[in-house]
Structure 1
């Protein structure tokens, strides 16, 4: 009787071992499955992507030399929605500071303009720089001379014109 118990235990162990084996693969792949990639898809390669100007910004080149209030540049898409998304609750403070502006400048793929709240220039101002090649919007807002800078994608490579604008406020020097 003990021999039967040992034999039964041996059959159970053999069944477990045979049951745990993976099914046999024929011709290197199972029927209906996707074959494994022949190369490592996670290999690092040199980035050959050249930055190009985003098509939607090309239309903004026409604003060079014009006044923001006259051409309605801040109300044009994609600028309007991207400013709103970038600034959130600071958006009204930004747009009201474009009450008095010089003409829009365009140089080296950077569209730039600044403005101030009428009768409060020097303290309540705002500036906008769009790197059209990199597709990044940068904004500065001065409230009573205190400046806050904003950028999409948390980019810290602010255009020189925006940094020059920032340096004119004594509280930030």
Structure 2
């Protein structure tokens, strides 16, 4: 009996760890052009690093302006595979924005190495930059983190982060754009 428990734990524990933040699908990365601390997204008229006006678009409208991989994460709450996103293991100084609308989300000074395979932050840029809702998908109880401007799925919020907040914003790299301080 003890052997069965060990075998089940040994084989299924990695599955639960990898899927703790979501479905864990491999998604390609989106390309963006950075100029003078602004990100240009040709074909997306809703993207702005400075406009904070709330967006209320239909999924059909988002589907027209977002690359398919970004759409799957941000509008259908998919999750990129752990340890594959472009920002999970970086420490460059700068600012992170919503990949769908350009809303300012995090400063790199709030980023920390959580070893979970996704970029992690201990606090958001401001109280309105990210909103939250309960998520009971996949037989788990989590808090979903959504862009405060466009409502796009960014990742999840957990209570296992470092001081001073004790929070871990576990984000999908593909849901983020990054502008380095030196640009």
Q: TM-score range by the shorter chain?
A: under 0.3
TM-score when normalising by structure 2: 0.27
When you count helix as a share of all residues, which structure comes out higher?
1
Larger Rg: 1
